[in-house]
Structure 1
């Protein structure tokens, strides 16, 4: 087994062991085993950085073995600059989520921890798969553990939210399966994604394939107007579920655009680029305004996620290196920042059992350490320079201005809306005098919570102050993708 197989299957193996451990009498052992599994899984991904060659856009750490030989389906894994940081992000967030659920989850602990470990392995599989059918299997399999996480450990309306999540994302993916089967037949019986990139397809076929992929990836991002499932799911999901959903699962759709939609149907991508840009700008501007009027902190951050992911799709479809690289950087930055925002809300919810902004006020007086972390993450959510939230948004805005000044101007307005809804929430929750007895009785974060938030704070500041390692890795792959899209001509 190569490094990528270890990265995929190690967390899944630990998850299966946890399931076998049985009931809640082994809680302490379950927690430590889950933490060990997540740490080992993260450490396995670190040598990928040491061995990654920056100057090439070719797939690296490639593994290939026959899987379903009759249909020429291969177990085929690889990594390039587009998928590299997403693998490390997934493994890192998994460690944080295990720490976050350490004391909070008290029933069915082994199933809870196992669900996250298995989900982590499946998501890494999505980012590494170079075979179309293997990608689809991983892509759809991620729904199962997340469905269980929402449906078992969620809030009062958890069953409704779990079904909504499952049905929206599954229905979107069915058209993608049709597209994959069509490409398989047209390529002479190959599921190899690289082969599909080189196939000459007519204008009509490209348009149909583009929208078949769009159905799955737009729902997953989620883009406006198919974003309505996300706030409901975030509100009902447990804190760890919200963190993983925002930090990694939304990125599966955005990644699909770069790996499938743009290289397989390049002419259709260019033709419909303005359509995607308009949808992205609506997400950035309109959904930012919707976030302002939310009274539930989780809903506010959920709508904020839709707006921030609008930057990602905007960057991809302006077809210049700054925009695409900015979109990728924004994906990683949003992974750190959104996870931190949801985990911060979880810290308050564990104490007060309310997500309503009106239930708080003056938290800084009783939880000063926690308020300092929250201020940092709120500033990153606004896109403050020297934080991770700034880098990707700034790159996308610069790329958008080069593409079209009006598009760049509308994209830049998101920074104002982001500051408005985030800082207004921070002011009402944390600043001013203590407004009720529950806030008066709050205790500051413990060591476990401090470690969890400190790890995310380091990531947010490191990426904001020194983004070069992130941009250098993706440079060659982005240039190669844009060259392929630009040079493609209809047969």
Structure 2
């Protein structure tokens, strides 16, 4: 399939160039103008977010705003192909479609909110690093060449290390080192897989590899295994998740929001776009193992959360369970399952991003994240307690909110496979969903109810205007996606079928 460069494809380059330029400008601002530099960073993040919103307006007419019905194969809404390294046959190939676009918008939104958050409390260098992270994350979601995907995938490593090590908690350096060591191990496996695919296929073009993979079944099984482990580390998926609680506990609030909201999605998105897309036969071979790991992650994450006594660690471990539902959806290798994974990714980014904003605020105000020292928030700060309650019930999957769709339809997709193994996986996953409700209700009972502790009584009760600005978009989008999941899923059917190698609808 031959793709042409679209007239509006400069938007794809602009999405990467604007935050990169913003990071350079902010870094050059004199230290004496630190706050002004953070405002400049927020302005660049705002421009980038507006560029992401412009995509549906300029896509070709045959695609519609959110639909590519009737267009065969994996055809990007916008496509950019430029010569990059002609001697090696490499192209600078970017594109956006219904699978990647929601994550592109989510990245732009969360980066903007985090940069705005740093205006009040942060540093010029932190704001610049957030913009560099945005370049790497957006590049990962836009890349349609394996080599380019790998490069952008690795861009986030050092900036995230610097964010944790530079502005984190007392044990930040150890947590940052652990993050780097795990991620580097995954990077090695990813590189081996990328090199294997490119050498065997003679190209790294994801549109070509997805449309008609030239790889044999044995090669697909090998590269899918490499990709699965590499992406499992980044997601992270059980049992390769142990770096995540430490990183979240020690990271600053803005770092935790970016880490949970979009950086983890690079792993699950990579598993869908690269793992399943490039090696559908390998995905089919590994699907039962992925399903078992997903169910274990759901149950283990929930049980660990029931034992947690620290706010940020509890939310961090909850991500393990939520990513388990995403993995279960992917493992079913059905359109319903992949759609469950896609909306689960976005819902987790919105809800967990909001949760980390809230628990970061509670920890900053009270000076502690210990559940034993936090109670009575409802009496002291009812609005903050109400927002925490909203985020918690959204995360546990209450119908009508964004968290419901991904978890419910991952279970439905497993049961629809109409096989005893898959039905069993669906049942155990549903049990894990009930445990999710248990630990979030326990969290609310411990933090919001009862008499106010000294730490809570001494904290500021009012929510500032800046905090409302940062939290309101996440609240509204959690409601919007919960009521209208088509905002995320419309137009995804055909590209998912293409990724599955023409698999079952």
Shared fold (TM-score, shorter chain, > 0.5): yes
Whether the 8 Å contact between 1:77 and 1:129 is mirrored in structure 2 is yes
Alignment pair present for 1:416 and 2:424: no
3-state SS in 2 of match to 1:337 = helix
* Cα drift, residue 202 of structure 1: 2.8
Which residue of 44, 48, 62 maps to 2:79? 62
**8 Å contact kept, 1:364–1:431:** yes
Deviates more, 1:358-367 or 1:323-332: 358-367
Q: State the shift of 1:282 in Å.
A: 0.3
The 8 Å contact of residues 83 and 90 in structure 2, kept in 1 or not, is answered as yes
**Counterpart residue number, 1:8:** 16
Q: Work out whether 1:22 is the aligned partner of 2:30.
A: yes
- Give how far 1:215 is off: 2.2
What is the CA-CA distance between 1:68 and the residue it aligns to?
A: 1.5
Describe the shift of the 1:362–1:181 C-alpha distance in structure 2 as closer, same or farther (beyond 3 A): same
2:109 pairs with 1:92: yes
User: Please, which moves more after superposition, 476-485 or 333-342?
Assistant: 476-485
Note the C-alpha offset of 1:218: 0.8
Partner of 1:393: 407
Q: Distance in 2 between matches of 1:480 and 1:75?
A: 22
Inter-partner Cα distance in structure 2 for 1:361 and 1:438: 7
1:144 to 145, 153, 158: 158
Contact 1:301 1:342 in 2 (8 A): yes
CA-to-aligned-CA distance 1:130-159 (integer Å, 9 cap, x gap): 111111110011111111100100111111
Q: Deviations over 1:254-286 (max 9, x none)?
A: 111111111222112111100000000000112
1:44 aligns with 2:57: no
* 1:247 matches 2:255: no
**What is the SS of the residue equivalent to 2:416?**
helix
Q: 2:309 aligns with which of 280, 295, 307?
A: 295
Task: Tell me how far 1:9 sits from its aligned partner.
Answer: 1.7
RMSD of the alignment, in Å? 1.6
Q: Structure 1 residues 441 and 63 mapped into 2: Cα distance closer, same or farther (>3 Å)?
A: closer
| Structure 2 counterpart of 1:195, from 181, 194, 208 | 208
CA contact 2:497–2:503 (8 Å) conserved in 1: no
Query: What is the alpha-carbon distance in structure 1 between the residues aligned to residue 251 and residue 458 of structure 2?
Result: 27
- Structure 1 residue 72 corresponds to structure 2 residue 80: no
TM-score (norm 1): 0.95
* C-alpha contact 2:35 2:119 (8 A) present in aligned 1: no
Judged with a 3 Å threshold, the aligned counterparts in structure 2 of structure 1 residues 441 and 28 are, in CA distance, closer, same or farther, namely: closer
| Equivalent pair of 1:385/1:464 in contact (CA under 8 Å) | yes
Q: Which moved more, 1:351-360 or 1:178-187?
A: 178-187
Number of aligned positions between the proteins: 482
CA displacement at 1:438 relative to structure 2: 4.3
- Residue in 1 aligned with 2:5? none
> Aligned pair 1:460/2:485, yes or no?
no
Q: Residue by residue, what CA displacement relative to the aligned partner does 1:403-454 show, whole Å, maximum 9, x if unpaired? A: 2322221111122111111111111111122122542543221111112111
Q: CA deviation at 1:322?
A: 1.3
* Counterpart for residue 461 of structure 2: 443
- The residue aligned with 1:170 is 184
Q: Once structures 1 and 2 are overlaid, which stretch shifts more, 197-206 or 307-316? A: 197-206
**C-alpha distance in 2 between matches for 1:346 and 1:144:** 23
In structure 2, what is the Cα distance between the partners aligned to 1:206 and 1:471? 28
* Larger deviation, residues 468-477 vs 231-240: 468-477
Q: Which residues of 2 match residues 266-285 of structure 1 at below 5 A?
A: 266-285=280-299
Aligned partner of 1:377 among 378, 386, 391: 391
Q: Which moved more, 1:440-449 or 1:225-234?
A: 440-449
Is the Cα–Cα contact under 8 Å of residues 133 and 160 in structure 2 kept in the other structure? yes
Counterpart position of 1:434: 452
Shift of 1:352: 1.4
Q: C-alpha distance in 1, partners of 2:455/2:208?
A: 64
CA contact (8 A) 2:335 2:504 kept: no
Provide the rounded CA distance (Å) in 1 between the counterparts of 2:352 and 2:504. Answer: 33
| Structure 1 gap segments, 5+ residues each | none
Q: Give structure 1 regions of 4+ aligned residues with deviation exceeding 4 angstroms.
A: none
**Match of residue 345, structure 2, among 321, 331, 345:** 331
**What is the DSSP-based 3-state SS (H/G/I as helix, E as strand, rest coil) of the residue aligned with 2:83?**
strand
Provide the C-alpha distance between the structure 2 equivalents of 1:144 and 1:259, rounded to a whole number of angstroms.
Answer: 24
User: In structure 2, how many angstroms separate the alpha carbons of the residues matched to 1:473 and 1:96?
Assistant: 28
1:355 maps to which residue? 369
Corresponding residue for residue 142 of structure 2: 128
Q: Look up the match of 1:341.
A: 355
Aligned-pair CA distance for 1:350? 1.6
Post-superposition CA distance 1:374-411 (Å, at most 9, x none):
11101101111111111211121211221232222111
Q: Deviation per CA, 1:3-44: give whole Å up to 9, x if none.
A: 111112211111111011131x21231122111111111001
Whether 1:237 and 2:258 are equivalent positions in the alignment is: no
In structure 1, what is the Cα distance between the partners aligned to 2:490 and 2:504? Answer: 22
Which of 99, 104, 110 is residue 124 of structure 2 equivalent to? 110
Normalised by the size of structure 2, how large is the TM-score? 0.92
Of the candidates 300, 305, 311, which is equivalent to residue 286 of structure 1?
A: 300
